[in-house]
Structure 1
């Protein structure tokens, strides 16, 4: 699918959602469900003065948590996928900790790391890192052992095997894991931003709700949705550039 078709599909979906929103607001006729035109008008008035700084803080936390998860999770997944001894030792640790709901660890993180930035970044990290580890490990384990024989017989080093075999094989599932985890990460970030901070989209939306300012609340929700669209768009663009052999 080319860029033009992609943009057309996104535009059609946005129009459909806006029409549904307008119809629901027109039927309910309640202040708690304003029409889209009023929300976007309010968004234009408050975006630069208020929302922009909150969106920047939220994006920073997501980027920091994602970066940390990739730095830790990808090498760990490669280690477990390529070396059976490492997998036998580390898999029980992953399987015992992966099913724990990460949001349940928030009180512990706040006790250990405080209520500031570190606990929020670590929460994003915990949500993403396990999915990265499992996805990369499973992608590498699907490679037949015979794949490595010609390379090693020709004197290839492990960095060369990683560059030409392991990384291309693991990259698609790695990107899929990031894409799947991102939605959960944004949702949990919204919850964590209601504690110990005055910056972030979670704080802004809840503050508007407490002030009974529904237009600002919906404006914040729209921006949060657009942030998710931006993040998924960046992931898709990275996949398009990095996994060029998958293009149709």
Structure 2
């Protein structure tokens, strides 16, 4: 948990640096296009709280479902590639071919096939996160020494025991690390998808304020979307501290070194 506390301190320091840069930009530009930080936060205090909360919860629900579905699918894919080598070779070839494809370019196709509803937005988030998670988890599983498999099997472990005591502990840290990397991209995709065919979500709120040339509203939405990303990042760190305590021990040693 010490490393988690350090993460929080690092995030606080990052927030201070970001606001310092924001303030410097405001003082340098002196334009309504870039309002002062305190002006944005003061404006947020006077906004309709229930309206902002509704937009935030809608966005959070969309990205939450996307992360959950992508995590489950990537776990199934990566474990299948390890437990069933023939399946693994086929899936590895497919992932190798499709991973470099820019998923955001598929947005028009997904919208044409799935319409402008909630499913389209969740599907795009899944497409963005799925391959990163699957590749990271697969590589982590492939890095397990063969001796570990032999020892686990010699102790009479069943397939479930192998999953519980060897495969999942090896894949989980890699999955959480991949999620950290993917969160920023996923939120960017969420913003893009929420600018089409919806009147709910922070992406819609920001783009609507932009079109109305209401910069304080726009920056309020950006601030909330950013806070949502930071909150998800902290949640992943907390999950790692709880589910992968050996990772925290390693990080504590690295910090002391």
**TM value normalised by structure 2:** 0.92
* Structure 2 counterpart of 1:246: 247
Distance in 2 (alpha carbons) for counterparts of 1:47 and 1:101 = 37
* Structure 2 counterpart of 1:59: 60
**Pairing 1:24-173 to 2, within 5 Å after superposition:** 24-46=25-47, 48-173=49-174
Distance in 2 (alpha carbons) for counterparts of 1:87 and 1:106 = 28
Distance in 1 (alpha carbons) for counterparts of 2:4 and 2:77 = 35
CA RMSD of aligned residues (A): 1.5
* SS of 2:131 mapped into structure 1: helix
Which runs of structure 1 show a deviation greater than 3 angstroms over 4 or more consecutive aligned residues? 1-9
Q: Is the 8 A contact 1:81 1:136 kept in 2?
A: no
* SS of 1:126 mapped into structure 2: helix
* SS of 1:148 mapped into structure 2: helix
Q: Is the 8 A contact 1:106 1:123 kept in 2?
A: yes
Give the length in aligned residue pairs. 248
Distance in 2 (alpha carbons) for counterparts of 1:16 and 1:186 = 22
Unaligned residue ranges in structure 1 (runs of 5+):
none
* Structure 2 counterpart of 1:228: 229
Unaligned residue ranges in structure 2 (runs of 5+):
253-257
Q: How big is the shift at 1:11?
A: 2.6
Q: Deviations over 1:206-232 (max 9, x none)?
A: 100110100111111111111110000
Shift in alpha-carbon separation, 1:7–1:134, aligned structure 2, 3 A: closer
Distance in 2 (alpha carbons) for counterparts of 1:148 and 1:2 = 30
* Structure 1 counterpart of 2:214: 213
